[in-house]
Structure 1
């Protein structure tokens, strides 16, 4: 699907689909329902084993958007290949289980006009469950601008992945996504802000983030491995050790009750000088779990 309106910048929306059969139609439908008039939609199925391809094909036959089926290559490589085929100056990578609100693209394009320093524009989200029911009112967050230090040191509320809009120029300047890092959103924000661009996050809710059983953030081992790999790409930063320790402390607290092996690994990796309340709470949860297991 491509609009013929050439007065507005072309936005290329890329949906990389992988085993999200129950959600993919809502995701694609939300792009097709955008009020913005100049959109190119590219959908790539990255080796799904469910009925995603059949569902997408039905929609593609009706609406005529670009659709490609491929063997599994991973999200970062799929995004790089899709960006190379896309024609827009503005690029949106959108989850095959999430939903855009109708005004999303229009608001972001209008905001980015005349702001070449903004490499990424984002917005706020509302969480929904697997059935599409709201999980509660979204957080009220004001418009904010993030530079590299803000993102690396986590000094301000971050940019939700379902709302990211990239300036193509910024993506090309940093060489796109790294296929070796599978948690692509944090890595690309750090790369783009280190290159001198800003991430501006609008106050408006732009997307519905679907919380379900297979969300990436629930895979603690995956999160630990890929976030630490991401931070390692910026190990020359003076706060690198502290940032890694802070992240390990946070993940230790999250996984201490559900993945004791990972929690113990994280605990051993945290230097004593970075121990704090989270470390002690995590340790207590590990010990608590050990007692209950006897």
Structure 2
């Protein structure tokens, strides 16, 4: 029996509005040497029934589990995966045509790369493209471990393609870290694999009110700080800690000013960078109520 070269893993939790479009965008790729593995992570909406309806037509692997989080769902999918390469794809995003072929070709030509990322196009909940700054840089970016740590840079699920041996070498996903991309990025770079980012746009990344960055920025902050704690002796640690705090400030200066105030106080002012000061200006001016406002 011929084994697939690529395993595409899709963990799903309560994405009944998007799961069909997501899975069809994968199944209709112009590359056929892959398997699709979907894990329903205890959804309480109609996600499971919609996945099963598609499975009856396309016959991919489908597993169900109690709600345990993304990392546990990915480990479940990995236990069934046979591919040399692994793609993790969020169940509310859309894979663009040619994505698998492009990334696999690059990985085959670059055996030193353990994790390959790319760029996205942002869309809203209805699939309409959002205006955002697009870089004109067409070079492939290569990140070192220290650079990834200092910038708190994660190769996100919407664009990530992993070498399976790299995932296995670092022990898979840590179920205690439910926001998993950052930890996996660092671990793979730490053990010596290269991490490259293609300039290609390979996914439509959906922004909506249930994105983790909007709904769980406090827990994401906790997870990210836990991830870098093991690297406290690395010279890039403090820069990475500030980068993580800056991410949390993006939402908290709007959603929870008391929490934001505590984040600002947790970093000595002399260590603030331009982004921290930008967040602080938003905190003080942009989101302050005018005098006399009720």
Q: TM-score, normalised by structure 2?
A: 0.89
**1:245/1:271 contact within 8 Å kept:** no
Matched, 1:91 2:86: yes
Matched, 1:261 2:258: yes
For 1:288 and 1:268, how far apart are their aligned partners in 2? 18
1:123 is displaced (CA, Å) by: 1.2
**2:154/2:182 contact within 8 Å kept:** no
Task: Give 1:169's aligned residue.
Answer: 165
Q: Which runs of 5+ in 2 are unaligned?
A: none
C-alpha RMSD of matched pairs (Å): 2.4
Task: Give 1:48's aligned residue.
Answer: 43
For 1:74 and 1:154, how far apart are their aligned partners in 2? 25
Aligned length: 288
Task: Give 1:117's aligned residue.
Answer: 112
Task: Give 1:14's aligned residue.
Answer: 9
Matched, 1:26 2:25: no
1:289 is displaced (CA, Å) by: 5.3
**1:118/1:198 contact within 8 Å kept:** yes
Q: TM-score, normalised by structure 1?
A: 0.89
CA gap of 1:83–1:267, structure 2 versus 1, over 3 A, is same
1:252 is displaced (CA, Å) by: 2.8
Task: Give 2:288's aligned residue.
Answer: 288
**1:257/1:285 contact within 8 Å kept:** no
191, 211, 215: which one pairs with 1:195? 191
**1:12/1:88 contact within 8 Å kept:** yes
CA gap of 1:283–1:197, structure 2 versus 1, over 3 A, is same
**2:214/2:251 contact within 8 Å kept:** no
For 2:214 and 2:86, how far apart are their aligned partners in 1? 27
Helix, strand or coil at the partner of 2:158 = helix
What per-residue deviation string (whole Å, max 9, x for no partner) do you get for residues 4-31 of structure 1? 876xx61001110100000000111011
Matched, 1:239 2:239: no
For 2:158 and 2:169, how far apart are their aligned partners in 1? 22
Helix, strand or coil at the partner of 1:256 = helix
Worse overlay, 253-262 or 68-77? 253-262
For 1:286 and 1:222, how far apart are their aligned partners in 2? 25
CA gap of 1:286–1:233, structure 2 versus 1, over 3 A, is farther
118, 126, 129: which one pairs with 1:131? 126
Worse overlay, 176-185 or 135-144? 135-144
Matched, 1:71 2:42: no
Matched, 1:252 2:236: no
CA gap of 1:293–1:221, structure 2 versus 1, over 3 A, is farther
For 1:292 and 1:14, how far apart are their aligned partners in 2? 53
Task: Give 1:186's aligned residue.
Answer: 182
What per-residue deviation string (whole Å, max 9, x for no partner) do you get for residues 160-207 of structure 1? 430100000100111111111111111100000011111111111111
For 2:257 and 2:271, how far apart are their aligned partners in 1? 20
Matched, 1:274 2:271: yes
What per-residue deviation string (whole Å, max 9, x for no partner) do you get for residues 230-275 of structure 1? 2223222123123213432453354223211211221221124313
For 1:50 and 1:254, how far apart are their aligned partners in 2? 27
